[in-house]
Amino acid sequence: AQTVTQSQPEMSVQEAETVTLSCTYDTSESDYYLFWYKQPPSRQMILVIRQEAYKQQNATENRFSVNFQKAAKSFSLKISDSQLGDAAMYFCAAGGGAQKLVFGQGTRLTINP
């Protein structure tokens, strides 16, 4: 079984600053994948970034990067140069061989102009 925990229900950051969202997970799978999804007010679930557990290199997508610490089962998301459009709920998720996703409870990110 997999569990995903996001310990920060809410975060806020000044526009153009950097913010880090935390996520820890637990899994018995040897082959698994980790994701961050963004859910803006439209409620659409949008993929932000993906990390394969077998890859040591941290994934990066433009202003978004992760800090993947496999031994610590930690998977944090760093957003650089925060923009107003980044305001949303952010969900961390884990998927294993069966591929179903287990989600954390989410972190609401507010961007202050």
3-state helix, strand, coil in the chain (%, to 5): 5, 50, 45
User: Residue 102 phi/psi, 5° resolution?
Assistant: -110, 125
- Position among 25, 27, 33, 59 found at the interface with another protein (CB under 8 A): 33
CB of 12 to another protein, least distance (A): 21
- Position among 47, 61, 69, 83 found at the interface with another protein (CB under 8 A): 47
Q: Alpha-carbon distance 64 to 37, whole Å?
A: 12
60: CB partners within 8 A, 6+ apart = 49, 66
- Position among 10, 15, 26, 31 found at the interface with another protein (CB under 8 A): 31
Instruction: For residue 11, state whether it binds another protein (rule: CB under 8 A).
Output: no
Q: Alpha-carbon distance 5 to 14, whole Å?
A: 25
9: CB partners within 8 A, 6+ apart = 105, 106, 107, 108
Instruction: For residue 102, state whether it binds another protein (rule: CB under 8 A).
Output: yes
Stretch that binds another protein, among 13-21, 60-68, 71-79, 103-111 (CB under 8 A): 103-111
Instruction: For residue 95, state whether it binds another protein (rule: CB under 8 A).
Output: yes
- Position among 44, 60, 83, 112 found at the interface with another protein (CB under 8 A): 44
Instruction: For residue 45, state whether it binds another protein (rule: CB under 8 A).
Output: yes
